[in-house]
Amino acid sequence: MECPNCKADLPGGSKYCGNCGTALRRACPSCGHAMPAGNRFCSECGTSLVAGVLAPSPPADRPALSALTGIAAQRRHLTIMFCDMVGSSALSTCLDPEEQRDVVSTFQACCTSEVKRFGGMVAQYLGDGVLAYFGYPIAHEDDAERAMHAGLAILEGIGKSNPAPDVTLEARIGIASGVVVVGDLVREGLTQENAAIGETTNLAARLQSLAEPNTIVISSETHQLVGALFEYRDLGKRALKGFAQPVHVRQVLRPGNLVSRFEARRQTPSPLLGRDEDLNLLLRRWQQAKTGEGRVVLITGEPGIGKSRLTLALQERLAAEPHTRLVYQGSPYHQDSALYPVISQLVRAAGIEHEDSQNQKLAKLETVLALTVEDLKAAVPLFAPLLSIPLGSQYVPLDLTPLRRKERTFNALLDQLKLLATRQPVLMVLEDAHWFDPTTLEIFSRSSRSRLSALLAYQCCSLLQHAQNLLHVGQATPASRR
């Protein structure tokens, strides 16, 4: 080995240079990370560097890095993202190398932060670009959706950054999904430990080169995995280098204003088999709710057993009956956003589109509120701020404390529900309620205690804590907990 200071040749395993006394860096025996000689534990994976000293165990929810890297190559289904900075070559001609380094570091830091926030892993830094995996080493059922949310967040984040005077960051992002072989393939150096080999990696790279600045382009398989969860621009079939057949690609515009994540992912619902008893129970609760005695039903179970399909079957059976259907969809990405399910439902009911001007959004909000409130002048100043819509000159902003504003908003929402229930029965479907924020759960707790012609169907996974919270919120009776 060689001393980094005086370049003297030293015996292997030396901790200090025998010529100049410089402390030498050494590699972790587990992950290969280089560290100063004085470290007792690896700063990357926590492995002990001192004989006889045990390393602390990693947190229960995070496997040790040594368990995630250096494992045998695996055949996995991944969603792969290539993210490349636009105009880096031009920047090199007008910026000092140190300034350019700061710009690239800012870009890569933004990409890394968003990838990790949505459960992905940065596999490699390729020049000024980033290669990220979703589905390795830890897989999720919605890895494709996570990758697209991360891509949109990256575009938003770099747009707000200001890494240098007169420098605006832009990115091209390509996302593809498919089967690859990933893991420690050649066991030579850290850059090869997480290499993914397969058509999917090459496709993601080609899609990135096809994308326009500040856009995301995805493959057809990725689109099949996410369905209508996002809005797209169809770019048709494109000939890509290295691919014998043209590839159908789409540009991701924004998250879709979906009614149900279940319906968005499935074009044709599967048949409902063996659930006659469960469906009949829901229909009996509906008949009881129609008499003015509100009912609450909690549908809970492991993911994938058909909870959403059962509530969809109920909605199909009631389609011919006069009633008002309100669907509130929870989101794993907005669990900390107060009243997110309520706001999303109001946006859908008003028909507000992303392209609408502020005046158009306000007009649509006034139209939908006029159907469900008695005092429009009092309701609009409460609801418009929830949707981030300016009030304009025709309304006076409310000067209320946060607590008082919350109470007024809750009362307005409950008054809406009461008015709807006086006209015809109301079916309220709470999809993925385990992702609801506490404020939303509080408002439904109040509505469940009202004597209304309404049926509240809570649908959630079987996490014990969530189920107990929802049973408490909804005050469900034992007969309605199936």
Domains of the chain: 1-50 (no CATH), 71-256 (3.30.70.1230), 269-480 (3.40.50.300)
Q: What confidence tier does 466 reach under pLDDT thresholds 50, 70, 90?
A: very low
pLDDT value, residue 111? 94
Q: Which of 47-51, 123-127, 368-372, 454-458 ranks highest by mean pLDDT?
A: 368-372
pLDDT value, residue 393? 83
Cα dist from 62 to 48, 57, 67, 73, 164, whole Å: 18, 10, 10, 20, 36
199-239 pLDDT per residue, tens? 999 999 999 999 999 999 999 999 999 988 899 999 999 99
pLDDT value, residue 267? 60
- Output the pTM of the full model: 0.71
Alpha carbons within 13 A on the beta-carbon side of 215: 19
Within 10 A of 315 (CB to CB), how many other CB atoms are there? 16
Burial pattern 40-57, b for ≥16 Cβ within 10 A else e, equals ebbebbbbbbeeeeebee
Of 471 and 309, the structure prediction assigns the larger pLDDT to 309
Residue type, 95: L
Mean pLDDT of 459-476: 49
pLDDT value, residue 296? 86
Residue 54 per-residue DSSP state: P
Asked whether the CA dihedral 367, 373, 379, 384 is positive or negative, the reply is negative
Q: Which residues pair with 455 in a beta bridge?
A: 295, 427
Within 10 A of 283 (CB to CB), how many other CB atoms are there? 15
Closest listed residue to residue 307, CA positions, set 482, 475, 440: 482
Mean pLDDT for the chain overall: 81
Rounded to 10 degrees, what is the CA torsion of 132, 138, 142, 144?
A: 20
